Amino acid sequence: MPTNLIPGQAAGDTLGSKKPSGGQEDVWLTLAKDAFKRSTTYYENNFRATVEDGLRLFNSQHPKSSKYNSDAFKYRSRIFRPKTRSVVRKHEATAAMAFFSNPDVLSVDPENTEDPAQAISAGVTKELLQYRLRKSIPWFFKVLGAFQDAMTVGVCISFQYWDYQVRKEKKTRMAVAEVFGQQISMPFEQEVETVIVDKPCCDLIPVNNVRFDPAAKWDDVVGTSPYLILQLPMYLRDVLDRMELGYGKEGKKWNSLSKAVILKARITDFDPVQQARDGRREDPQAVTSQESDFDVIMVHLNFIKTADGVFTFYTLKDLELLSDPVALKEVFLHGQIPVTIGFCVIETHKTMPSGLAQLGGQLQQETNEVANQRLDNVKLVLNKRYVVRRGSNIDVESMVRNVPGGVTMANDAEKDVREINWTDVTSSSFQEQDRLNADFDDLTGGGLNSSSVMTNRRLNETVGGMKMMAQGSNSLTEYTIRVFAESWVEPTLRQLALLEQFYESDVTVLALAGQRAGVWQRFNQSEDLDQLLKQELTLSINVGMGATDPEQRLGKFIGAMQNYAQLSQAAPPDVNLLEVRKELFGLAG
């Protein structure tokens, strides 16, 4: 896959934003096809089975290759003990407490605290984001949904963009015209545009709908992959509207294609990953009926890197160009690829790290194995098996039903029928179950449960021992949340902040943000506002180590305040109290 020059392009030549010629269109489409084929082949051969198993474990289903899915175990115990689902839900509850216990979701600070323009920009940008995260973007669901993706399939992927939609209507207006010296009111029709959607968006993209180069760097996949492809399922009606009416604030239109050509990109095959996610249901995006406006068409958003920068364009799957390739900054004004990829488990030099479901996959299978064998044993103890002589006149159906108080007819009960007795399961089975549960909790940070406490016999006998176990579990949970925050939450919020800086035009929202920031009186012109918003800022989220235990957080905060009060009163004259405060509260979490 080329990363510097487009094939057939000489050094120094550039496509810029001009419409490519027919030959260049073929080159861009070939690039998109090659990138999609290469990445899809690698994904299918190396990642798909792992992703599918992670989703099945989360949905309390046995992995696809499990023996419990075979006919040999059709009538055996094959329950699934939902350890994976339980640990994911515990982490989600802890993440909700860590991210949303503070009324302020994030903090925005200027790069240069002495620059008043940056200070104003930081205050307004923070209030804009706070407003949009409460009103326009369901941030609670986005954060926990992304965290769930990271725990189940290993990565979470989101696409940040500005959604702008208008509705054109013809309205009758009255105009005054002078006819023969008299003023006459005459009606005329005028086309009026009404803005119906004008907001930032953050869409979670399933991992099976994203393609990147497998040789990209593990800690910056978006920035180092020579291409990035988002598969965006769209209704047929929406595709046709973009061709006829355009989209975005500029009203750009897609290249016109016939309906027959568009329908070639219909989703007709079931995606096994989507089926694993839905749990044995049919793929909701696949076509099972005749043609209609509700058919789902697969559209690709391509980002291709060249020597002249990053170019972006839409394609109808990998069949036809829907838009002309243009420089990234012409489509996304902030100049960044609007995609963020996060994870919750650090695995160096792997572009697709494991999630918690995959880390505990083998222990989950062993837990199911022990539980199902024990259940089979209990059922055999309570419902005996019998050996019946072949050809004997025995009421076999009566024996199978094994109804209490029932009668089974036999010619010779002593010779034709023999009962097989089974010894009851011993306590070793339950001890093994407890040890597997403890190992699973230690690996995934699932917190304390009865089996984990029982396994640590000496520690559970004292209050101090219980606190030690709880602290170890909380530390692992906080570490998992911190990795997720650093890899996805903060980069995503930075991109949303850039969207606010470059696209926000709602006068009401801007006025409200300025008033809440307390700086609106400093500027009231749109030109000044645009310049003030486009400043270099530092964004961070309000979550730290120790954020998962409210009692612990309160104790650390009060302790830090008391220590700071004492230090500020008795500090040497050359001590920078601001830096002391940062260090003190940082150590407190």
Average pLDDT over residues 536-561: 62
DSSP 8-state assignment for residue 17? T
Strand, helix or coil for residue 410: strand
Q: What is the pLDDT of residue 32?
A: 94
Nearest-10 crossing angle of helices 427-444, 83-100: 30
Average pLDDT over residues 343-364: 92
Q: E strands along 468-578, which residues? A: 537-541
Report whether pLDDT(524) > 50: no
Query: Sorting pLDDT into bands at 50, 70 and 90, what band is 328?
Result: very high
Q: What is the pLDDT of residue 326?
A: 94
Average pLDDT over residues 216-228: 95
Q: Return the top range by mean pLDDT from 80-89, 118-127, 187-196, 415-424.
A: 80-89
Q: What is the pLDDT of residue 19?
A: 45
Q: What is the pLDDT of residue 540?
A: 62
Do the beta carbons of residue 102 and residue 557 sit within 8 Å?
no
- What is the radius of gyration, based on Cα positions, of the chain? 32
Lowest mean pLDDT among 124-133, 223-232, 250-259, 293-302: 124-133
Strand, helix or coil for residue 176: strand
Question: Which of 368, 354, 477 shows the shortest CA–CA distance to 82?
Answer: 368
Higher per-residue confidence, 564 vs 261? 261
Query: Sorting pLDDT into bands at 50, 70 and 90, what band is 1?
Result: very low
Average pLDDT over residues 488-511: 83
Report whether pLDDT(11) > 50: no
Q: How far is CA 45 from the centre of its chain?
A: 22
Quote the CA–CA distance of 585 and 567 in Å, as a whole number. Answer: 13
- In Å, what is the CA distance from 448 to each residue of 58, 454, 505? 20, 10, 50
**Which run of H or of E encompasses 191?**
strand 182-205
Average pLDDT over residues 311-318: 94
Structure tokens at 560: 């830090």
Q: Return the top range by mean pLDDT from 1-15, 179-193, 294-308.
A: 294-308
Average pLDDT over residues 495-514: 78
Report whether pLDDT(159) > 80: yes
Q: Which residues of 556-589 are buried (b: 16+ CB within 10 A; e: fewer)?
A: beeebeeebeeeeeeeeeeeeeeeeeeebbeebb
Report whether pLDDT(258) > 60: yes
What share of the chain in percent tops pLDDT 70? 79
Quote the CA–CA distance of 225 and 329 in Å, as a whole number. Answer: 18
SS (H, E, C) 225-287: CCEEEEEEEEEHHHHHHHHHCCECCCCECCCCCCHHHHHHHECCCCCHHHHHHHCCCCCCCCC
What share of the chain in percent tops pLDDT 90? 34
Q: Return the top range by mean pLDDT from 73-82, 125-134, 465-474.
A: 73-82
Do the beta carbons of residue 167 and residue 371 sit within 8 Å?
no
Structure tokens at 462: 């004292």
Report whether pLDDT(352) > 80: yes
Strand, helix or coil for residue 574: coil
pLDDT tens track for 384-433: 888 888 888 888 888 877 777 778 888 887 788 888 877 888 888 888 88
Structure tokens at 326: 């243009």
The residues with which 326 forms a beta bridge, in sequence order, are 312
Sign of CA dihedral 353, 355, 359, 363: negative
Do the beta carbons of residue 529 and residue 496 sit within 8 Å?
no
Average pLDDT in the chain = 80
Q: What is the pLDDT of residue 155?
A: 96
- CB atoms near residue 306 (< 10 Å): 19
| Residue entry with tokens 């709602």 | 506
Do the beta carbons of residue 53 and residue 60 sit within 8 Å?
no
Query: Sorting pLDDT into bands at 50, 70 and 90, what band is 530?
Result: low
Report whether pLDDT(255) > 80: yes
Average pLDDT over residues 132-147: 92
Strand, helix or coil for residue 402: coil
Strand, helix or coil for residue 394: strand
Query: Sorting pLDDT into bands at 50, 70 and 90, what band is 234?
Result: very high
**Distant-in-sequence, close-in-space partners of 83: CB < 8 Å, separation ≥ 6:** 360, 363, 364, 367, 437, 440, 446
**Distant-in-sequence, close-in-space partners of 508: CB < 8 Å, separation ≥ 6:** none
Question: Which of 50, 76, 584, 38 shows the shortest CA–CA distance to 304?
Answer: 38
Report whether pLDDT(145) > 80: yes
**Which run of H or of E encompasses 514?**
helix 507-517
Query: Sorting pLDDT into bands at 50, 70 and 90, what band is 463?
Result: very low
Q: Which residues of 60-73 are buried (b: 16+ CB within 10 A; e: fewer)?
A: bbbbeebebeeeee
Strand, helix or coil for residue 157: strand
Average pLDDT over residues 499-508: 80
pLDDT tens track for 420-443: 877 888 888 888 888 888 888 888
* Phi-psi category of residue 194: left, alpha or beta, with phi > 0 → left and psi -120 to 50 → alpha: beta
Query: Sorting pLDDT into bands at 50, 70 and 90, what band is 12?
Result: very low
Average pLDDT over residues 105-109: 69
Report whether pLDDT(96) > 50: yes
Q: What is the pLDDT of residue 523?
A: 40
SS3 content of the chain, % helix, strand, coil (to 5): 50, 20, 35
- In Å, what is the CA distance from 480 to each residue of 128, 147, 356? 29, 10, 10
Q: What is the pLDDT of residue 55?
A: 93
- In Å, what is the CA distance from 84 to each residue of 55, 78, 367, 548? 10, 16, 11, 20
The residues with which 309 forms a beta bridge, in sequence order, are 306
Question: What is the identity of the amino acid at 480?
Answer: T
Average pLDDT over residues 521-539: 50
Do the beta carbons of residue 396 and residue 190 sit within 8 Å?
no
Quote the CA–CA distance of 537 and 111 in Å, as a whole number. Answer: 5
Higher per-residue confidence, 406 vs 22? 406
Instruction: Report the number of secondary-structure helices (H) and strands (E) in the chain.
Output: 22, 13
Quote the CA–CA distance of 526 and 510 in Å, as a whole number. Answer: 10
Report whether pLDDT(458) > 60: no
Lowest mean pLDDT among 52-66, 305-319, 433-447: 433-447
* Phi-psi category of residue 95: left, alpha or beta, with phi > 0 → left and psi -120 to 50 → alpha: alpha
Question: Counting Cβ atoms within 10 Å, is residue 184 exposed (0-12), middle (13-18) or buried (19+)?
Answer: exposed
Q: How many CA atoms lie within 13 A of 4 on its CB side?
A: 3
Report whether pLDDT(521) > 70: no
